Amino acid sequence: MKMKKIMITFLLSLSVGIVCAQLKESTITVKTTSTKIDSMWVSGPNGKTFFAKPDEENKVVLRFKEEHPFILKLGIDAPTKWSLSLFVEQGDQLTVITDLDKQTKFSGKGKENAQVLFDCLTAYTATYKEMEKEIGTRMLSPTEFFETYLKLGQSQIDVLEANKEKVSPAFYQDRSIAFQYQKLNLPTYGPSFFVQSGKKLSESIPEGYWDLEKEVKITDDLFSNSDYTGYMKGIFPYFLLIQEKLKQGKLDSTFTNEADETLKLSLVERKYPTKLKSMAIVSIISGALGKAKDVTTLKPLMDSYLTKIEPEDAEALMSKYNDYTNLATGKMAPDFTLKSLEGNDVSLKDFKGKVVYLDFWASWCAPCRHEMKNGSPKLHEKFKDNKDVVFLYVSLDSKVDAWKKAIADDKIEGIHLLSQATSGVNTPIAKAFNITGIPRYVIIGKDGKIVDNDAPRPSQDITAEKIKEALNEG
């Protein structure tokens, strides 16, 4: 019996070894012709991001052994900004030669997929610029917004369909799904933008909106496509929510955030299959935790769903909950040390004994810049003679020049620090403060403890009152 077990173990190990040995290496070589670069950021399989250094010939060589195709994203932030997406399959031997501006050429195995993907993204950018020029500063109606962004998303699909015979079957299948759900993103979520600008929800739903449901497949079969899962966990639950409100005759009724999230959860639980349901539940509850002033109020709701989702998802959700409780009111704020605008090391602990209004922003974030121009000066004025209040700005820009230019352009007063992002808001400080979107504001008391982990914006009257309360508590 023991010998039999040994043989079975040996055969299993052998079979795994054979599979691994059969994986063909994919090599991606990127050569820049016009500009010497210091490094290139790379977002590879499973979204892992790292930096790669070029060799003496200004070439970056990347090697992967992956069983399944994946999207590889590359980019540089200085001395110019440039990015590229590639579809990588086993055995690809692709060379990219680019001047980081007008010319990008592909050669080797995988070049057809690379060229078509490049053409799809180029068509999208060109269509966007045309629409931007045509619209100008004119405010779109909900129906115009809806039709405009459906047309924009369709631009990629049209290029893909025209080149269907040139690309690999895996590429076509993956990108046809991805482009379909990229196309649906903004049109589906569009009504929320108009509600935020003051319209009633009933006035924000465009003609043809409810027909979007016909274009959505609710299935676990597409689970491996990140654009599909991103849409199904973050966007489509919103569609289901307002559809249910319409059925109940409560389209313009006021719901609390918690009531909205609870309704979303019940709809997802009822309509989604197993894997998709588990993922969406985690996403919705995580979002609710991020908005909550006191996450402990959501603990009963979270607990009621932990047994209804996949074990690994339940574990991840509990971990996220614990992270948020560490940032609850009364907890010590995570300390950090960053470089200032002047090049000095500045730590949060340097301001112990003062109330800190912490502003997370980036030069590319329009709402952030709006607040800095219109809200921050008025807020600063109210505390100009109070040396116990510090306005601390932490930029998540990836490019130093863009950060400095925004500060100069907007004449932003305060202490400025930079936590460079590899992409989006991906920085250690953003992770420490559980920041998934900006602008984001945090008020920290004189004792270094969190007073409000999602404070109001500078333009809101209540913000000054919150700061005064923090001053009085010290």
Decide if pLDDT at 70 tops 90. Answer: yes
Contact (Cβ atoms closer than 8 angstroms) between residue 260 and residue 266: no
DSSP, res 249: T
207 three-class SS: coil
166 three-class SS: coil
Please provide the size of the chain in residues: 474
Contact (Cβ atoms closer than 8 angstroms) between residue 96 and residue 30: yes
Backbone phi and psi for residue 262, each to the nearest 5 degrees, phi listed first: -65, -40
Please state the rounded mean pLDDT for residues 203-209.
96
Cα distances from 56 to residues 25, 106, 107, 274, 349, in angstroms, run 24, 21, 21, 51, 43
State both tokens at 379. Answer: 């807020």
| Cα separation of the two ends of the chain | 72
Query: What is the amino acid identity at position 441?
Result: Y
Give the separation between CA 436 and CA 13, rounded to whole angstroms: 41
User: What does the pLDDT read at residue 153?
Assistant: 96
Decide if pLDDT at 13 tops 90. Answer: no
Give the separation between CA 180 and CA 69, rounded to whole angstroms: 19
Q: What is the pLDDT of residues 235-257, one digit of tens each?
A: 999 999 999 999 999 999 988 88
**DSSP H/E element including 26:** strand 26-32
Alpha carbons within 13 angstroms on the beta-carbon side of residue 4 total: 1
Closest CA relative to residue 401, chosen from 153, 88, 81? 81
Closest CA relative to residue 383, chosen from 409, 357, 410? 357
Closest CA relative to residue 27, chosen from 89, 76, 114? 89
Question: What is the strand order of the sheet 104-109 is part of?
Answer: 59-64, 26-32, 93-98, 104-109
User: What does the pLDDT read at residue 63?
Assistant: 95
Q: Does the CA dihedral 363-347-328-467 come out positive or negative?
A: negative
- The answer to which of 106-110, 158-162, 430-434 has the lowest mean pLDDT is 430-434
User: What does the pLDDT read at residue 20?
Assistant: 46
Give the separation between CA 397 and CA 229, rounded to whole angstroms: 27
The separation between CA 452 and the C-alpha centre of its own chain, rounded to angstroms, equals: 23
Decide if pLDDT at 382 tops 90. Answer: yes
Q: What is the pLDDT of residues 114-151, one digit of tens each?
A: 999 999 999 999 999 999 999 988 889 999 999 999 99
Q: Does the CA dihedral 77-83-87-93 come out positive or negative?
A: negative
User: What does the pLDDT read at residue 19?
Assistant: 46
Q: pTM for the full model? A: 0.74
3-state secondary structure string across 307-341? CCCCHHHHHHHHHHHHHHHCCCCCCECCCCEEEEC
Strands (E), 40-133: 40-43, 49-52, 59-64, 70-76, 82-88, 93-98, 104-109
Q: What is the pLDDT of residues 164-194, one digit of tens each?
A: 999 999 999 999 999 999 999 999 999 998 9
Closest CA relative to residue 146, chosen from 208, 237, 199? 208
Please state the rounded mean pLDDT for residues 350-360.
95
